[in-house]
């Protein structure tokens, strides 16, 4: 899964709006998104993930109108450019998800998939689209990390099913870097195979994350090798989807794993 950040403040510095003159994508930004999407598909991306709000610590929150204004033009253009490649919308807002699906997205990626709010699940159910439920917590406090992550995700699956999402349309993500300390993240990497107990495909997003930088004392743009190691670990443990910035290298690592 290749990452397309339509943001000015992505932690990895790859946001397409980082040098844009406004908060909405102009023609040049949309064209850049299309070029990036095509390049990622050529490099081996099976899916693309488009997001209009950074999820890094300390990010600036955006409202529904602004987030939709960022992603909708990009989704329309990317959908036309790579019509056969599934696209997920990375959002926590049901209104943005609905607008994104109207613009050509095929699935929803919810970084607060364990929230008690079922609004995104209802959108996924009404549209009949896949939903990625990512684990997250407001505070990284656990008594027993892996069992608690599994329990939270199981509860999220059950809520989504009650909201009407089909079992076959659900994926889970352990939320590497979300509501967890670096020590928690490393522990999760070692136990990824236990997520298979949930019976759903697993997505994993470790690309350029701060935990990797802390271990190696490297900035975001020098974390490729660390990302490749986590991709290989994940695929070997049974992960089905890896969400990455550097598609070609990660696709090769995944094939070897």
The C-alpha angle 135, 138, 140, rounded to 5 degrees, equals 80
- Rounded Cα gap, residues 165 and 250, in angstroms: 30
Q: Pairing state of beta strands 241-242 and 107-110?
A: unpaired
Q: CA 195 to CA 205: how far, in whole Å?
A: 14
Which of helix, strand or coil describes residue 242? Answer: strand
| In 174-240, beta strands by DSSP E | 203-204
Q: Give the helix/strand (H/E) hosting 34.
A: helix 27-43
**Is the C-alpha dihedral spanning 251, 86, 223, 39 positive or negative?**
positive
Residues identified as active-site: 209, 243
- Contact between 124 and 162 under an 8 Å Cβ cutoff? The reply is no
CB contact set of 165 (below 8 Å; sequence gap of 6+): 121, 124, 125, 131
Cβ atoms of 6 and 31 closer than 8 Å: no
């Amino acid at each position: 899964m290749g990452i397309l950040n339509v943001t000015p403040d992505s932690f990895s510095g790859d946001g397409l709006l980082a040098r844009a003159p406004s908060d909405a994508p102009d023609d040049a930004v949309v064209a850049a998104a299309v070029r990036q999407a095509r390049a990622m598909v050529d490099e081996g991306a099976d899916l693309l993930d488009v997001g209009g709000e950074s999820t890094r610590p300390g990010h600036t929150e955006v409202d529904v109108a602004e987030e939709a204004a960022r992603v909708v033009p990009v989704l329309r253009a990317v959908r036309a450019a790579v019509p056969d490649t599934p696209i997920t919308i990375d959002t926590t807002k049901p209104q943005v998800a609905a607008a994104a699906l109207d613009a050509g997205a095929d699935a929803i990626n919810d970084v607060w998939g364990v929230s008690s709010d079922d609004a995104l699940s209802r959108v996924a159910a009404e549209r009949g689209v896949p939903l990625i439920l990512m684990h997250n917590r407001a505070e990284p406090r656990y008594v027993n990390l892996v069992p608690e992550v599994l329990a939270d995700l199981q509860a999220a699956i059950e809520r989504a099913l009650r909201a009407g999402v089909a079992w076959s349309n659900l994926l889970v993500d352990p939320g590497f870097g979300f509501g967890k300390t670096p020590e928690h993240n490393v522990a999760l990497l070692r136990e990824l195979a236990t997520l298979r107990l949930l019976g759903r495909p697993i997505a994993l997003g470790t690309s350029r994350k701060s935990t990797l930088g802390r271990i190696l004392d490297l900035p975001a743009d020098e974390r490729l090798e660390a990302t490749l190691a986590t991709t290989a670990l994940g695929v070997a443990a049974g992960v089905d989807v890896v969400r990455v910035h550097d598609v070609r290298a990660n696709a090769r690592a995944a094939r070897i794993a």
